[in-house]
Amino acid sequence: MDNPTPETRHLKPGIQIYSITMFNQCLTLPKASRGRSLASPGFTLLEVMISLAVIAIALLAVYGNYSQTIAMNTDQQFNTTAPLLAARVAADFENRSLDELVDESGNFGPDFEGYQWVVKVESVTSDTLENIAEDLHSIDITVSFNDAAYVFHCNTIRFVRREDGS
């Protein structure tokens, strides 16, 4: 019993028994049945395809939620920023003289890239107010973002006494 030598015996077709006489141990290794080996661990192509489909569906749901969050964030940012920028433009027009109240447009510089503003100034007419209406001016302010993808509009009325005092 110096060196153990394996012996092979065939009991049934497809089943072989290997034994080493020194340790008195037997090991049975069945042959592959119906295309898949019982001894080899792993996944079939069908199992891999199903798991990839489940992962793809989960990632699409996450991506849909993410893109919706980004769009809502852009909406909220515009809804917060545009009124403040419109107030800035309105304050600028409040400090102008009657001769300087003209239609204008522009942007807000590099701090608010993509934001533009347009101001339209019109005289107010009213039969009820008569001469006082001539001193009233409607200032329409429009703030837009991303080439008018988002638009904020406000209007203010400014009372400017005519210089002739009438």
What is the C-alpha to C-alpha distance for residues 166 and 158, in angstroms, rounded to an integer? 17
Q: Between the CA atoms of 142, 135, 94 and 92, what dihedral angle is there, to the nearest 10 degrees?
A: 60
pTM above 0.75, yes or no: no
H or E element: which one contains 74?
helix 45-94
Q: Which residue has the tokens 């891999």?
A: 48
User: 83-102 pLDDT, tens per residue?
Assistant: 999 999 999 988 888 888 89
Tell whether the model's pLDDT for residue 79 goes beyond 80: yes
